[in-house]
Amino acid sequence: MEIRGHDTYFDIGSNTRGLNSVLCILARSVDREGMRSRTGRSGDAVPYWAEARGALCRADPILGTLILAAGGSVLRPRNDPFFSLSRSIVAQQISVHAAEAVWQKLIAHVGNMTPVAMASQTEDGLRSCGLSRQKARYLLSLAEHFTEGGLDRAPWRRMEDEAVIERLVEVKGIGRWTAEMFLIFYLLRPDVLPVADVGIQKAIATHFNAGVRPGPDEMFAIAEPWRPWRSVASWYLWRSLDAVPVEY
Contact of 240 with 65, CB cutoff 8 Å: no
Residue 172 CA to residue 137 CA, distance in Å, equals 9
From the number of C-beta atoms within 10 Å of its C-beta (0-12, 13-18, 19+), residue 58 rates as middle
Torsion of CA 155, 157, 163, 166, to 10 degrees: 70
Contact of 87 with 247, CB cutoff 8 Å: yes
CA 192 to chain centre: 9
Residue 164 CA to residue 178 CA, distance in Å, equals 11
DSSP-assigned states of every residue in 113-136? --HHHHHT--HHHHHTTT--HHHH
- Residues 94-129 as b/e (b if ≥16 CB within 10 A, e otherwise) read eebeebbebbebbeeebeebbbeebbebeeeebeeb
User: Is position 197 annotated as part of the catalytic site?
Assistant: yes
Residue 244 CA to residue 117 CA, distance in Å, equals 27
Contact of 54 with 23, CB cutoff 8 Å: no
Active-site entry in 124, 197, 217, 242: 197
CA atoms within 13 A on the CB side of 171: 29
Which residues are catalytically annotated? 197
